[in-house]
Amino acid sequence: MTARLRDRACIVTGAGRGIGRAIALSFAAEGARVVVNDADGAAAEAVAKEITESGGTAVSEASAIGTMEAAEALVGVALEAFATLDVLVNNAGILRDRMTHRMSEEDFDDVIAVHLKGTWACGRAAIRHWRPLAKEETGSALDRHRKIINVTSASGLIGSVGQSNYAAAKMGIVGLTKTWAKELGRLRINVNAIAPAALTAMTEPLLEDPQVAERRLARFALGRYGAPEEIAPAFVFFASDESNYITGQVLCVDGGLVI
């Protein structure tokens, strides 16, 4: 442990499993206080317990991301628990994969709501809290940077068959990232995105058919999906002071899927 995030208050959405869980655990290992959000309250509570039993500080929160009310409640939990907020990770996501001609309106709306609107709503809630604080800060406080780290995807960067809803949401997140970076830079709020490729409950079904799996894995320069634990260090970097001069960027942590 290097304590790069010592005492920072962080929210990680969709942190009950997979990449989100790995991010929450890595943040805690670096000294952060973590709000572990997941629509599955039991999963969120289990990760928070894992952190506290390891000597860290965490609370769980079970809002289903996708509305302004849920976003404001989530930020409220962080402020009630830790009295501050330093880092927001917008990781929560779902899949409703269908070819476009078979995709229902509900399939499209659900994915857009969680990924795109959820990212926007959580970002909005954090920004509304941070803006007046940043404007009032003087002296050494001007060295303080707050961070938003969004999660996009290769699907949002290069498209993916059967994922028009997901790709649209993830490319929309790229747009949010770059727009927020321009809007908030002078307030020392850095906004970046990470496009990960890891083997999780969302991606494991994609490899069930051996022939499909062979074709899919051939797209990776490294020939495989990463583990969530291989993705989390990039989030630690963007949350830390080491990235204070980086904003508006998309980092692919994907084994060479997007080159």
Per-residue pLDDT tens digits for 170-183: 999 999 999 999 99
Instruction: Quickly list DSSP for the chain.
Output: ---TTTT-EEEETT-SSHHHHHHHHHHHHTT-EEEEE-SSHHHHHHHHHHHHHTT-EEEEE---SSSHHHHHHHHHHHHHHHS---EEEE-------B-GGG--HHHHHHHIIIIIIHHHHHHHHHHHHHHHHHHH--GGGGG--EEEEEE--HHHHH--TTBHHHHHHHHHHHHHHHHHHHHHGGGTEEEEEEEE-B-STTTGGGGSSHHHHHHHHTTSTTSSPBPHHHHHHHHHHHHSGGGTT--S-EEEESSSS--
Q: C-alpha distances in angstroms, 78 versus 72, 103, 219? A: 10, 37, 40
> Which residue, chain included where needed, has tokens 């609370």?
59
110: nearest Cα among 155, 164, 162, 165: 165
pLDDT of residue 203: 82
Q: What is the pLDDT, as a whole number, of residue 1?
A: 60
Q: What is the pTM of this model?
A: 0.96
Judged by average pLDDT, the poorest of 111-120, 198-207, 214-223 is 198-207
Share of the chain above pLDDT 70, in %: 100
Task: Evaluate if residue 201 carries a pLDDT over 90.
Answer: no
Tell me the per-residue pLDDT of 151-169, one tens digit each, with 9 for 90 and over: 999 999 999 999 999 999 9
Cβ-in-10-Å burial (0-12, 13-18, 19+) of 136 comes to exposed
Domains of the chain with bracketed CATH? 9-253 (3.40.50.720)
Query: Residue 227 — pLDDT band, cuts 50, 70, 90?
Result: very high
Residue 245 annotated among the catalytic residues of the structure: no
pLDDT computed for residue 209 by the predictor: 87
Burial 101-135 (b: 16+ CB within 10 A, else e): eebeeebbebbbbbbbbbbbbbbbbbbebbeeebe
* Cα-based distances in Å from 28 to 4, 71, 236: 10, 22, 10
Under the banding of pLDDT at 50, 70 and 90, the label for residue 206 is: confident
> Which of the residues 82, 120, 130, 166 is marked catalytic?
166
What pLDDT digit, counting tens, does each position of 53-98 carry? Answer: 999 999 999 999 999 999 999 999 999 999 999 999 999 999 999 9
